[in-house]
Amino acid sequence: MTRDAHDAHDAHDVHDTHDTHDIHDAHDAHDAHDAHDAHDLLMKNSSINKMKTIKRIGVLTSGGDAPGMNAAIRSVTRAALFNQLEVVGILRGYDGLINGKFRNLKSRDVSGIIQTGGTILKTARSEEFRTFDGRKKAYDHLLKENIDALVVIGGDGSFKGAGIFSDEFDFPIVGLPGTIDNDLYGTDYTIGYDTALNTVVQAVDKIRDTASSHNRLFFVEVMGRDAGFIALRSGIATGAEAILVPEVNTNLEQLRSYLEKGNKRKKSSNIIIVAEGDDAGGAYEIAKKVKDDLSHYEIRVTVLGHIQRGGSPSAFDRVMASKLGVAAVDALLEGKRSIMIGFMNREVSHVPFSKTIKYHRHLDDSLLRVADILTI
């Protein structure tokens, strides 16, 4: 074979080798592309499957009861059924979760409850749920009942427990703010607050009638161990002569001076609204501290107590609870977890449990100023 022939043959071999290499490269690239597509499809299917895993949800009420909780239960139940989900009511809050107290909920089970106070699921505080063993029992019951997610209706203590449980067992939980105190960070209003506020206003208006008839000074104690939201707004709404809240240090000398001025102006009645957590003490304690200096007053004390928790919820609480209940189910179906469904600027908001627990909602400074101005 001549050198030219050898060169031509080598060139042909090299060309064949390049062709083979190109074919392999193309094949590898095609395999890589297919693998990438398969990975994307797998992730997409995984995401879809994750969305579809929620087929059965549980709902419970925890902590203190609040008007409107039944409206929230009704909303969660019917929103879940609308989305072809099964619903399980858990009785007596976390205690029922630990002890397996469950009942299936259908649409008829929540019929005729929107106007009722309290909670048809009952509520309780659970010390056992504060322990890991207690929470493990609760988780085992959820697995046994094939419950895929939870809606917890309650306050900050309930959300703290829900956040810990969700982190420990990777379990989807969404919270609804149910407390008359209105002290949860991340929502302008809590379920039950508006009703409780109106209950206080109606009671104080009646107390004002008898106070005027007898020229009496009434100290009226309202709920609010750590927050003065009920006291502040009800005080403004009833024209109270003074409003004492935990967030502002109480100056008893200033209170005495003000009441003396009122006496000189021949005021026919005086109403002092006291939040139960005020730094100077509750209504009885404060009345005891000032009575010796105000002997010309006939002093009476009224503690409204648990009347503030009961009663038919207001229209506002019913509508808000209904809106938040639907939003809770929507959030779970969207893959959200460890959040509270709030109500900010008249819109639904999502607030992580971590923020709701860590931060505190403060009184409106402008309302405090209004209260100061109007007590002259």
Residue 214 pLDDT more than 70? yes
pLDDT of residue 34: 46
pLDDT above 70 coverage of the chain, percent: 84
Confirm whether 167 is a catalytic residue. no
The rounded distance, in Å, linking the Cα atoms of 349 and 74 is 20
185-187-192-198 Cα dihedral, nearest 10 degrees: 100
pLDDT of residue 10: 43
pLDDT of residue 125: 87
pLDDT of residue 24: 45
What is the band of 263 on the pLDDT scale with cuts at 50, 70, 90? low
Please give the residue that has the higher pLDDT: either 29 or 274: 274
pLDDT of residue 12: 43
Burial of 159 (0-12, 13-18, 19+ CB in 10 A): buried
pLDDT of residue 258: 77
Q: Give residues with Cβ within 8 angstroms of 52, minimum separation 6.
A: none
Cα torsion 307, 309, 310, 315: sign:
positive
Residue 51 pLDDT more than 60? no
pLDDT of residue 87: 98
**Polymer length of the chain:** 376
Mean per-residue pLDDT, 38-56:
52
Mean pLDDT of the chain: 86
The rounded distance, in Å, linking the Cα atoms of 14 and 6 is 12
pLDDT of residue 264: 59
Compute CA 116 distance to the chain's CA centroid, rounded to the nearest angstrom. 20
pLDDT of residue 196: 97
Mean per-residue pLDDT, 355-366:
92
Residue 20 pLDDT more than 90? no
In this predicted model, what pLDDT tens digit does every residue of 291-327 receive, in sequence order?
887 777 888 999 999 999 999 999 999 999 999 999 9
In this predicted model, what pLDDT tens digit does every residue of 73-129 receive, in sequence order?
999 999 999 999 999 999 999 999 999 999 999 999 999 999 999 999 999 889 999
Q: Under CATH, which architecture does the 193-310 domain have? A: 3-Layer(aba) Sandwich (3.40)
Lowest mean pLDDT among 24-28, 160-164, 342-346: 24-28
Burial of 341 (0-12, 13-18, 19+ CB in 10 A): buried
Asked whether 173 and 337 are in contact (CB, 8 A), the reply is: yes
Catalytic, out of 148, 181, 183, 194: 181
Residue 14 pLDDT more than 90? no
Q: Which CATH class is domain 56-192+313-358?
A: alpha beta
What is the band of 262 on the pLDDT scale with cuts at 50, 70, 90? low
The rounded distance, in Å, linking the Cα atoms of 134 and 12 is 78
What letter represents residue 182's amino acid? N
* pTM, two decimal places: 0.83
pLDDT of residue 376: 64
Mean per-residue pLDDT, 230-246:
95
Mean per-residue pLDDT, 125-134:
94
